[in-house]
Chain A
């Protein structure tokens, strides 16, 4: 079976004071049909740049320099904007972190949901309005008929995120890219939204690419995980493997630095230092300067993604040396 989305060798650069510098480099991953892939990492690791590259929504100072993005076998890199627009919002939909600013405040909610239906499906005003109400019901908004005639400012953050999901679901996308969809929401509302996303995914057999920094959300939602650090994929594998047998020292550090509800109080382990900025990205392993296991080899040569098991890879020389988890 070929993957729904296949990203390989993706390098995206941004213009800085010292010329074009890569924000993500040589990123590889695939998303299968009906799968939820989590992309995890801290701020600045390049996870949002990855999603914007796929959607071809990079700001004017950013460009894809290398690599390919195959969606159902079709190359998206270098696609003309008119063709990309047919895919965007239709086959691939996206929801963002900020439900407060992603909706247009001057249009009624029903109209905003219906918009992509009018563009992609050629529905008329009446039909798109009816479909909008159906979609609002689908995402669990009470009094859907009334809400369709309201403006966004009348809704709470959680409700707006539901509306964003309704907009994303309008054309039955095959892939939903969710960029930190619950980060701005409270935990109880987050629980509602995650629940809704799970339900929709099961009903519609769509794939989800979930970008988040929250390992708890990953554990609950994802089938497979890609861990990114400083613009590179450092580890990927099935969610169970990543949480049970984390192999890259960064993944291990990340997992052990989150406070857990069930633990009695104890000192948290933490990763010293900070993520290097793109102007001073070290050669060799990018995590070496913060890594407790680093050797001179790590500083000199960058490891490639090495196989830990069949479906589990880590970008770390320790895998090479021991062939097993540290």
Chain B
């Protein structure tokens, strides 16, 4: 891989916990605690993990919708954390986001046309109304909706169609990178596959890069070239998606994979059932964050955080088993 389009280095986002009348800071929620990965042009990087693992916060920090606490975000070699307000506004044309909730992500008071014209107006892309209308129609066709419905309101569309509108809005500024934050989790299975296929087609047509964030392993595996598995604010394992599935190294990845129900009544397999719940990111365990639930926990895991290392080319893991 040549120079990556997006390089995230040691990204951190800590939320202060405030207490008392004086709102003194009494602790930190380490929502994202040192995340690093790269995404090449035209590539899909999947970020998978359970709720509260920090995957969404990571996605929004990359776009600076949430201001990161530390780390570097290099887009095309430029550190976007160093950009001033005006420069950042221009940079937003390059990187876009698609949200999970097809109901909350579209302004209920705007028509589809207004929703899609909004980005053009913000960035002064198409000056005349006729040009803008042409572009709106084009965008709708691209995502598989009929342009004749551009003057309708979001509530007149189904969940899957709304998600297509959300995708069209992201495409309106011709971005190079789209962060897709659980884009199909709220959709029914049959509609989910329509949207996944659409994302696939758009990537091929427009050479888009995706950061695909989701909790559903089968979906992430299906769409991603490479996957990072997150646990409690950190990536514990990263690798090519088929390899990661066939030979998971980290005990958490193994447990996660084995927990996915297989849609085949005759498939039988060893299931690793994790004990207990996710610890609070405000008060993570000492040593390896995963050790209290790990089936392979060793003495060293209780005291020492494992290092993030490349065990095979392109394959990273943070686990003492591979020291």
Contact = CB atoms under 8 A, between A and B. Distances in A.
Same complex for A and B? Answer yes
A270 B193 contact: yes
B263 A191 contact: no
Contacts of B158: 274
Given A156-B277, A260-B218, A267-B200, A190 B193 contact: no
Contacts of A187: 50, 215, 217, 256, 259-260
B100 to A, nearest CB: 14
Contacts of A220: 261-262, 265
A195 B259 CA distance: 11
B219 interface: yes
Contacts of B222: 259-260, 263, 265, 268
B197 interface: yes
A215 B193 contact: no
Interface string A264-282: 1101111110110000000
A191 B262 contact: no
B141 interface: no
A186 B264 contact: no
B190 A219 contact: no
Interface stretch (A105-113, A120-128, A166-174, A250-258): A250-258
A260 B222 CA distance: 7
B192 interface: yes
Contact of B262 (A216, A264, A269): A216
Given A240-B266, A274-B160, A258 B193 contact: yes
Interface string B213-255: 0010111011100000000000000000110010000000001
B265 A240 contact: yes
- Which of under 10, 10 to 19, 20 to 34, or 35 or more describes the interface residues of A? 35 or more
A257 B189 contact: yes
B196 interface: yes
Contacts, number: 128
A60 interface: no
B215 to A, nearest CB: 7
B137 interface: no
Given A43-B188, A192-B274, A261 B197 contact: no
A302 interface: no
A255 B218 CA distance: 14
A33 interface: no
Name the prevailing secondary structure of the B interface residues: helix
A188 interface: yes
A219 B262 contact: yes
Contact of A219 (B194, B257, B263): B263
B78 interface: no
A261 B262 contact: yes
A258 B218 contact: yes
A138 B193 CA distance: 39
Given A257-B189, A259-B193, A274-B160, A216 B260 contact: yes
Nearest to B246: A262
A186 B274 CA distance: 12
Contacts of A205: none
A52 interface: no
Contact of A217 (B51, B190, B261): B261
Contacts of A213: 188-189
5 contacts: A187-B50, A188-B50, A270-B194, A270-B197, A271-B194
Top 9 A-B pairs ranked by shortest CB distance?
A216-B261, A259-B222, A270-B193, A257-B193, A42-B188, A186-B50, A191-B259, A271-B190, A268-B193
Interface of A: 42-43, 156, 158-159, 186-192, 194-195, 213-220, 222, 239-240, 243, 253-255, 257-265, 267-272, 274-275
Interface of B: 50-51, 158-161, 188-194, 196-197, 200, 215, 217-219, 221-223, 241-242, 245, 255-267, 271, 273-274, 277-278
